[in-house]
Structure 1
Amino acid sequence: MMALTAQQITEILADQGLLISTPEFKGELKHLAYNSNDVAPETLLFIKGRFNAEYLTDAIAKGVKAIVAPASFTHDTDLPTWVVDDVPAAMSVLSMAFYDYPQNKLALIGITGTKGKTSATYMAYEMLRVATDDKVALSSTLQVITGADPKFHYRAHLTTPESLDLFRWMAEAVANGMTHMVMEVSSQAYKMERVYGLRFNVGIFLNISPDHVGENEHPTFEDYLEHKMMLFDHSEQIILNADSDHFSELIEHAELAVPRDGIWLYGREDEDSPKADVYYDTVEADLQGSTFAVREAGQQAARLGIAGDYHLDMPGDFNQGNAVAAMIATRLVGADTDAMHEGLEVVKIPGRMQVLTTQNHGTIYVDYAHNYASIAALLNFVRTNETVEKLTIVVGAPGNKGVSRRPGIGQAVSEGADVVYITSDDPQFEDPNAIADEIQAAITNDHVVINREMDRTIAISEAIKAAGPNDVVVLAAKGLDEYQKIGGVDTPYENDWAVAQRVVSELEA
């Protein structure tokens, strides 16, 4: 950690074309914050979003010495103020400077996609743990890891952290001797400029399907796709799924951003697939995992040297593609095939495809699947790999975001389930019953039995109690989340896995 002088701040903002006006101030700042709760003496505070004047008064009392503010900021203050035309961008470039550009001391892999980001991130992380002797950091939807010691493992609150938090964690990783970092990069990270000015050694684009379209996210699918593809513009090399929807748009954008020998295409072994560099095919699969074969096609792919058979200790054939993308990425930053074999054998994603077997109430799956593509894939997987008399799903949708998901969730239920319990899932400021109405309206299959129970714990309990020995119950979307977002408050919640374990224990007692 370091200090930033007033001159440094002015020069950095001017170099980036962000500066509107600069204060008459010659001191230095020894702490950065964007939240009044995180203020220390001699803090530079970033005024982003709707910043209440009361918070600023509180922050000044705690030690704010100067601020970075937008031109629209009208609160009367004597604080030295850098006025900028883009506060999130300014926060990113000043944060990386304050923490001495830690990204330049890490081999960075960034992963985006509508589904599979977290799984691919953990796969790459486990492979690199082996390859680097545990010198790899992680930033995911579930957690942030900046060192091997558990005290450096943190719960995540955003898929991609705010830039100030991200560079602080990167600096901590460097201080802890980390040499690599794998991170999920959401479309919101680019829209909200959380990764402004950051470049990745390798960027992975897994897939794209409609999601995150709504008043508080992306106004249109085109806007969502555009922000997803920004990863191409900020990566030295790109790994792209040749089987993805919208492939022609993706490859066109990728080839404008990176030379062709820096683009690595992967796809399932299929004569109809666009020409890929690396192909994969299932050798065998069951409920515990799968074995898949990797084949390299052409001179460029042969440089990788990753052809062969691999065992993945995770169910679901859709995870094989995630594994191949992670394999190519880790190879490009130094991993060998021994590390790939070992990493894929041990990888576990908390809350993903966790399976609980019972004596009299069938099999229970807990998974973070939360949109049409992921729920449809999960239900199809269960149908394909289990003998199912009755398939039940417990599912809801969050409030005030991802509004476009709701009809898709209903469609996936309509196509793949026999019974549904529509329930709450982070309703925030919306009425969970109104959200349930939108999901239910898209369930057009008359054979699906629809139940509504807005208390998620009760819904899970009722679904498991009603299941027979040959039934499957899928608990979708919340995984190991230990809270429900209700009315702006993180309300404690047992988590789906814990509820299921407790209910089964009580039933079998």
Structure 2
Amino acid sequence: MKVIDLLEGLNYTLVQGSLDGDVEDVVFDSRKANNTNLFIAMKGANVDSHKFIPQVIEQGCKVIVVEEDVDVAKNVTLIKVEASRQALAYMSAALFHHPSREMCVIGITGTKGKTTTAHMISAILEAAGKRVGVIGTNGIEYAGKVEKTNNTTPESYELQQTFRKMVDAGIEYLVMECSSQGFKMHRTDGIIFDYGLFTNIEPDHIGPHEHKDFNEYKYYKSRIFAQSKQGLINMDADYADELKNGADCPMTTFAIDREATYRASHMHYVREADFVGVEFNVTGQCHLDVKLALPGKYNVYNALCAIALCDMLGIHENAILEALKKVAVAGRMEIAFSNKEMTVIVDYAHNALAMESLLDTLRQYQPHRLVVVFGCGGNRSKERRYGMGEVAAKKADFSILTADNSRFEKTTDIIQDIKSTLVPLGGQYIEIDDRLEAIEYALSHHEIGDMIAIIGKGNEDYNDVNGVKTHFSDREAVDEAVKKYHLENS
């Protein structure tokens, strides 16, 4: 591809050389640079790859993009841009011939609910016979494939490469989780979302390596509307009016507690031997009686967002209702086992706020006992341990304290930190260091009517101990316990 064609949409300065040359690829890893590709120098969190430019030239690279002034030999084409990460996004889109323009692209942002909402939308579209791809926390999913990712929103080159693979596989709709970091790091630059969805916002991801303060976090969350043809926002969310009024695109709304284009009401929590979820009505732009196979009010918000979007897409109500009646999201309020005696749920909740929200939700189903199996990660803030210990004491009837990625700490020391807040508040507990044994204990010592929440890992499939990751899945551990103790499923 001609270098000049890669620069479409970018503000740049040609410092020296020619834009008429051809390159086969765009790279930002200096080790991959050679005489067939273009190298983009970027400032990373730990390394500034501008310092590798002499090495890159030695490897034969003749076209280099920078965001700092550098001196290079006269036979090297040098292009300067304002932001290298933005350049990577635009050039990657051009390299793969703008594949996002060949699909209906749905972007979802928010502090909570992105993963669940994305999978609800995917389930509805698939029920309607559409070919769907999903990119997010649970990985990249399309055409029967599942690929892991390092970030909720992958690097822009990987995104555009994946888009092209999806288009070539016949994908019609792409549902994509968009993190605030993804917007800040320019990973989504150059993408115009057909629909931009906003679930909610709460203080999170604020710190030296993420966002400097809440205002910055909120700003980058709001960027989705600057890149969307049509917006959809939860009007019950904090700052909803500010975000809606400041949006750069037409806006549609959904809510439970306020007037909105799509509104949910008459919620009824249902717990049966083979079903735990919510029944509710939708009014406004469409009228539906919904039975949702996920518990809690916040999942009603997620479902309402999915319903609104799919109604706007013209999806038939039968597909919406059938999909939501049986939807399941790995590691997100996932019903791992249920019968007349107990319900076992696997969830990703790994901090005090998420844990409290989960336990409050489950308490609405009036269990005989609310039992929680959890630990905390090693080499992480002790405040998380204290917070989760306090929540367990106040919100659960019984806690089983165990391992959860102890890393380079002793599980017993982590549990001791959890107990420092749990015990003074009168929390009932048992310590079982081995997580499999802890899960087996929870199921084998259940009482009729119990709800058991196994939290912290969600659909994570490993234990991290002393720098070594070994396979472990909470869901698989539940299955093993069910077989071991001959428990009868519903």
TM over 0.5: yes
Question: How many angstroms does 1:416 deviate by?
Answer: 1.4
Cα 1:398–1:136 shift into 2, 3 Å: farther
Partner of 1:292: helix, strand, or coil? strand
Partner of 1:180: 173
1:153-211 deviations in whole A, cap 9, x for unaligned? 32333211111111111111211222221111111111222112322111111111222
Residue in 1 aligned with 2:232? Answer: 239
In the other structure, the counterpart of 2:314 is 334
Shift of 1:21: 3.8
Distance 1:419 1:74 in 2: 66
Single out whichever of 278-287 and 188-197 deviates more from structure 2: 278-287
> Structure 1's 58 and 226: CA in aligned 2 closer, same or farther, altered over 3 A?
same
Q: Which residue of 1 aligns with 2:303?
A: 323
2:260 corresponds in structure 1 to: 276
Of 114, 118, 121 in structure 2, the residue corresponding to residue 121 of structure 1 is 118
What is the aligned partner in structure 1 of residue 323 from structure 2? 343
Is contact 1:293–1:308 with CA below 8 Å preserved after alignment?
Answer: yes
Map of 2:139 onto structure 1: 143
**Partner Cα separation in structure 2 for residue 274 and residue 140 of structure 1:** 29
CA apart distance, 1:98: 0.7
In structure 1, how many angstroms separate the alpha carbons of the residues matched to 2:208 and 2:385? 14
Q: Which residue of 2 aligns with 1:483?
A: 462
SS in 2 for 1:236: coil
Match of 1:265 in 2: 253
Q: Within 5 A, what are the aligned runs for 1:196-207? A: 196-207=189-200
Kindly indicate whether residue 96 of structure 2 is the aligned counterpart of residue 103 of structure 1.
no
Amino acid at match of 1:474: A
**2:93–2:190 contact (8 Å) kept in structure 1:** no
Structure 2, gaps ≥5 residues long: none
CA contact under 8 A between 2:255 and 2:263: conserved in structure 1? yes
User: Contact 1:114 / 1:211 at 8 angstroms: preserved in 2?
Assistant: yes
Distance 1:231 1:388 in 2: 43
Secondary structure in 1 matching 2:117: helix
Report the Cα distance in structure 1 between the residues aligned to 2:470 and 2:70, rounded to whole angstroms: 35
What one-letter code is carried by the residue in structure 2 that aligns with 1:413? A
What SS does the corresponding residue of 1:28 show, helix, strand or coil?
coil
Distance 1:184 1:345 in 2: 23
The offset of 1:456, in angstroms, is 4.4
SS of residue paired to 1:388 = coil
* Preserved contact between residue 211 and residue 404 of structure 1 (Cα < 8 Å): no
1:422-452 CA-partner distances (Å, limit 9, x unpaired): 5555567888788778766665861224666
Shift of 1:396: 2.2
Aligned to 1:501: 479
Given residue 303 of structure 2, which amino acid in structure 1 is its aligned partner? A
Q: 2:158 aligns with which of 133, 158, 165?
A: 165
Moved more, 40-49 or 98-107: 40-49
Amino acid at match of 1:313: A
CA contact (8 A) 2:195 2:228 kept: yes
Structure 1 position 420, deviation (Å): 3.7
Q: How does 1:429-508 map to 2 (within 5 A)?
A: 446-449=425-428, 456-457=435-436, 459-461=438-440, 463-464=442-443, 467-484=446-463, 491-508=469-486
CA contact (8 A) 1:394 1:460 kept: no
Aligned partners of 2:171, 2:117: CA distance in 1, in Å?
A: 20
SS of match in other structure, 1:286: strand
Letter in 2 for 1:28: D
Distance 1:21 1:159 in 2: 36
What is the aligned counterpart of 2:349 among 354, 369, 373? 369
TM superposition shift of 1:117: 0.9
> How far did 1:362 drift?
4.8
Q: Of 80, 83, 88, which aligns to 1:86?
A: 83
For the residue of structure 1 that corresponds to 2:230, the secondary structure is: strand
User: What is the alpha-carbon distance in structure 1 between the residues aligned to residue 424 and residue 62 of structure 2?
Assistant: 61
Match of 2:11 in 1: 17
Q: Helix, strand or coil for the counterpart of 2:236?
A: coil
Matching residue's letter, 1:142: N
Q: 1:43 to 1:408 in 2, by over 3 A?
A: farther
Backbone CA RMSD of aligned residues? 3.9
What residue number does 1:355 align with?
Answer: 335
Check the 8 A contact 1:96/1:167 in 2, yes or no. Answer: yes
Kindly state the Cα deviation for residue 466 of structure 1 after the two structures are TM-superposed: 5.7
- What is residue 230 of structure 1 aligned with on the other side? 223
Contact 2:2–2:19 (8 Å) recurs in 1: no
List alignment gaps of at least 5 residues for structure 1: none
| Distance change >3 Å, CA 465–CA 64, structure 1 → 2 | farther
After superposition, what is the alpha-carbon deviation per residue over 1:446-494, rounded to whole angstroms, capped at 9, x for unaligned? Answer: 122466677644554555566545543311131221134668x672331
Aligned equivalents of 1:499 and 1:403: distance in 2?
27
The one-letter code of the counterpart of 1:113 is G
Amino acid at match of 1:396: C
Say which of 229, 233, 241 aligns to 1:251.
241
Q: In the superposition, relative to structure 1, how do residues 376 and 40 fare at CA in structure 2: closer, same or farther (>3 Å)?
A: farther
1:292 aligns with 2:285: no
Query: Aligned letter for 1:257?
Result: A
Name the amino acid aligned to 1:497.
R
Further displaced range: 24-33 or 165-174: 24-33
| Inter-partner Cα distance in structure 2 for 1:75 and 1:443 | 62
1:29 pairs with 10, 14, 23, which one? 23
**Preserved contact between residue 398 and residue 426 of structure 1 (Cα < 8 Å):** yes
Give SS of 2:392's match: helix
Contact 1:395 1:420 in 2 (8 A): no
CA drift of 1:90 comes to: 1.1
With over 3 angstroms needed to count, the CA separation of the structure-2 counterparts of 1:390 and 1:369, relative to structure 1, is closer
Map 1:414-429 onto structure 2 (within 5 A): 414-421=393-400, 425=404
Deviation at 1:22? 5.1
Instruction: State the TM-score, normalizing by the size of structure 2.
Output: 0.83
